[in-house]
Structure 1
Amino acid sequence: MVDVTSNMAAPRRVSKAAPASIAVDVVTDIEVIRATVAAITPDMVFTGYQHPAFLSAWVGSAGCAPMFLKFAVVGHGPVLLPLERCDNGVAGYCGGRHANGNFPVGRREDIAALSDAGETAILSAIKAAGIPANSLFLERQHAKWHNLANPFVFASSVASPNIALSFSIDGDLDTVLKTHGGKSKRKKLRSYRRKLDAKGSVEFLHPVPTEQVSRYLDRFLALKAERFRQAGIANVFGDDRIKAFLLDLFTDGAPDHTLHGLTLDGEIIAVIGCTRHANRMTVEFGSFEPEHAQLRPGELLFFSAIAHACETGIEIFDFGIGDEPYKRSWCDIETVHMDTTIGLTLAGKARAFAQTNRSRAVRAIKSNDRVWSAVKTARRALARR
């Protein structure tokens, strides 16, 4: 496993030069926010979670009250932090728990200038801006994106509790399999496929056609809700606003946001949702029909999606946030995201302190296989009561 240490922020030196002048514009008007999203152009730097399609769908359907912050170092253009403010007074990236690899939006030279201004100048500008929130929680951030440092990853930032796993695609599927468990993996998946074929007519969809997105999304939400219930995990897809967001995103956001599916005699038995940004494909979510679990429909769909990625110019296949054995069987790149908390009021500073320590504690638990296994077992037992 390769640990992408370049995504871990090194402490920044504090410059002894005069601090850079940074202006911060706080935008809460919804029409101005929509116009700001529409003004994001392909030549700007952004991840799939700050993609205009993602932000447009989220602002239009789900989440809390949008609150965008625009930073500009004197002599440079704006750098956008697309945030939302929730009822508890905390502001974080639009998308909440559905945004899993965040980075500010702007032109390379403007983001670089903001990074060069340094942590002290950025924090001073934030605290002087009169932001209507008690704290900022900037979670699951890339410390670097396309070799550009994130100006909002500070020396005080901490590693996010969950890692992300991915692998590079260097050629066709046969080439990929030679690097990632070729013969045994292909043999196992062929065995599952033969058994599935014996059950009926099998079809893979890459991607799901627009007119079928609603049907596949409904199926995913039902399967995931039951899986969360059995595991004793809160359903992050349970809010109707999240369904509206996903329907908007995967209907209007293609080809950058697509569903992929596996059917057996027309019945949907596995679904994944993916984001494509540049030459990277990230799996955002997935689920499968437990009745067919012994035939590994989820693994078969991933295998087919990876084959499709090899054929369509994808260079990085990213399984997204979370550490699972099936991901480890493919992946050799481990990415650590960073969390930054900034308290703006006395109550906000207390929240920021608690959140930072919570992140450290959760990461420590999940890094210990024995402890994390015990936690999951206890959670499932409580769910059965």
Structure 2
Amino acid sequence: MIDQKAAVQPGSSIQYAASSAVAPVQVFTAMEPLEKDWRRLERDNAISLHQSYDWCRAWVKTHGNPLAIVSGRSDQGHRFILPLEITRPTMIRKASFIGTRFTNINTGLFDPAFLRQPSPMDAAQFGAKIIAALDGRADLIHLGNVPLSWRGLTHPLAGLCAIENQNHTFQLPLLGDFEATLAQVNAKRRRKKYRNQVRKLEAIGGFEHVIASGEDQKAWLLDLFFQQKAVRFEALGLPDVFHEPETQAFFQLLLQSENGGLDVPLELHALKLHGTQEGKIAAIAGLSRKGDHVICQFGSIDESLAPEASPGELLFWLMIEQCCAEGASLFDFGIGDQIYKRSWCPVETVQHDILLPVTAIGHLAATAERGLTRSKAAIKAHPQLYGFLQKLRARSTAPAREAED
């Protein structure tokens, strides 16, 4: 339903281009009234799958946070949709993209003509309209992980107040065939490593690339991923971000959603061993695909199974090879700087967080957010300091884990 209280008054509008109709800004508290236009807008390859209807619906069903979906409509239908939810991690009411905790890249949804218009819109005016629409609902609008330049386009929100996120994302363009794709990342060395991995696994009985099918296999493999990841987080002294029941329910619900064709909200891939380790799963990864864009949402390995063969990297080889064969154009390793990502990816995408204070306390929160982001970026720019802090964190969480045991 539309929340009339939060809608901008008639006459308060955004002008997309000289020939466009006036589009009032409205706030919706439910997804359903927007579904038809939402699914139309999300078909554009420039729109992140994290703003797709099925992804957002799965999060809303499992988390139940209040929604404040900002949209602009013209005579031709909705021209943009910003799918936001309201959370209150502290005393601050924050409006963020739905499920932003587990998104790798956020674009919002924009009509293709609007997204590609030759003249940039008045960002300050646009920001003011969004703030006015959420007055009384949020203290701070925090649009995280937005690429200001993405797939050759300048983002419509690029002119708003933003700060560079401390984490970047990493992509591998898929160039028509697997050989051309490998040529971007030292193909000779990569093929040699692949042959060594295969030889080591064949020596213990071989392996199989499994794509989960059927409800039972999907549920089993996802549960195994949660187990493997929990072990890894504990070893690193880090909190398990997949531990909460609603988070696990979210991914379980994504597995049940099917869009038809090659598009899929979540698909589980695994490296299954044979021979002396018959039936054991050495590595798991979750892939999502929308249009020509594939994102690796998560991955895990069992470090007790054939670690000398680097099963996690081998699984990436197999998945990328398949994506090339299926006509995808971009394999996205997601957010976070790790050595294995850099070894695969010639493209590094800088993302920004857009901060729009709504209230006085929101202004204070925005200042604090910027300071925190700059601090994190400074720490990550110095690997030795970052490593030291990680070790310190691991030591500080060890007593808590022992008490739980």
The interval holding the TM-score normalised by the smaller chain is 0.7 to 0.9
Conserved? CA contact 1:78–1:110, under 8 Å: yes
- SS across alignment from 1:139: strand
Q: Return the match for 2:158 from 153, 158, 162.
A: 153
Conserved? CA contact 2:272–2:279, under 8 Å: yes
Please give the TM-score of this superposition, normalised by the length of structure 2.
0.82
Q: Pairwise mapping of residues 143-182 of structure 1 onto structure 2 (< 5 A)? A: 143-182=148-187
Q: Return the match for 1:280 from 271, 293, 313.
A: 293
- SS across alignment from 1:79: strand
Instruction: Supply the distance in 1 between the matched residues of 2:322 and 2:25 (Cα, whole angstroms).
Output: 43
Instruction: Supply the distance in 2 between the matched residues of 1:193 and 1:167 (Cα, whole angstroms).
Output: 23
Of 283-292 and 57-66, deviating more is 57-66
Instruction: Supply the distance in 1 between the matched residues of 2:322 and 2:102 (Cα, whole angstroms).
Output: 24
Q: Return the match for 1:241 from 246, 249, 261.
A: 246
Q: Return the match for 2:370 from 356, 359, 374.
A: 356
Conserved? CA contact 1:61–1:245, under 8 Å: yes
Q: Which amino acid aligns with 1:92?
A: S
Instruction: Supply the distance in 1 between the matched residues of 2:239 and 2:118 (Cα, whole angstroms).
Output: 38
Over 3 Å counting, the alpha-carbon distance change for 1:246 and 1:253 in structure 2 is farther
Distance apart, 1:339 and its partner CA: 0.4
Stretches of structure 2 lacking an aligned partner (at least 5 in a row): 1-17, 400-405
Of 116-125 and 38-47, deviating more is 38-47
Over 3 Å counting, the alpha-carbon distance change for 1:23 and 1:115 in structure 2 is farther
Conserved? CA contact 2:124–2:159, under 8 Å: no
Query: Which residue of structure 2 aligns with residue 14 of structure 1?
Result: none
Instruction: Supply the distance in 1 between the matched residues of 2:294 and 2:251 (Cα, whole angstroms).
Output: 17
Over 3 Å counting, the alpha-carbon distance change for 1:150 and 1:243 in structure 2 is same
Q: RMSD between aligned alpha carbons?
A: 2.5
Distance apart, 1:114 and its partner CA: 12
| Residue 56 (1) aligns with residue 50 (2) | no
Q: Which amino acid aligns with 1:355?
A: E
Q: Return the match for 1:377 from 387, 391, 394.
A: 391
Q: Which amino acid aligns with 2:380?
A: K
Structure number with higher relative contact order (C-alpha < 8 Å, ≥ 6 residues apart): 1
Q: Which amino acid aligns with 2:285?
A: I
- SS across alignment from 1:54: helix
Cα deviation per residue 1:147-196 (whole Å; 9 max; x = unaligned)? Answer: 44323333520111101111212243233333312222222232222222
- SS across alignment from 2:204: coil
Distance apart, 1:366 and its partner CA: 1.4
Instruction: Supply the distance in 2 between the matched residues of 1:330 and 1:58 (Cα, whole angstroms).
Output: 30
Instruction: Supply the distance in 1 between the matched residues of 2:189 and 2:149 (Cα, whole angstroms).
Output: 36
| Residue 341 (1) aligns with residue 355 (2) | yes
Conserved? CA contact 1:282–1:320, under 8 Å: yes
Aligned pairs, how many? Answer: 363
Q: Which amino acid aligns with 2:201?
A: L
Query: Which residue of structure 1 aligns with residue 4 of structure 2?
Result: none
| Residue 312 (1) aligns with residue 326 (2) | yes
Please give the TM-score of this superposition, normalised by the length of structure 1.
0.86
Distance apart, 1:344 and its partner CA: 0.9
Over 3 Å counting, the alpha-carbon distance change for 1:155 and 1:85 in structure 2 is closer
Over 3 Å counting, the alpha-carbon distance change for 1:384 and 1:191 in structure 2 is farther
Conserved? CA contact 1:171–1:310, under 8 Å: yes
Q: Return the match for 1:263 from 247, 264, 272.
A: 272
Distance apart, 1:115 and its partner CA: 8.1
Query: Which residue of structure 2 aligns with residue 25 of structure 1?
Result: 26
Instruction: Supply the distance in 2 between the matched residues of 1:312 and 1:65 (Cα, whole angstroms).
Output: 38
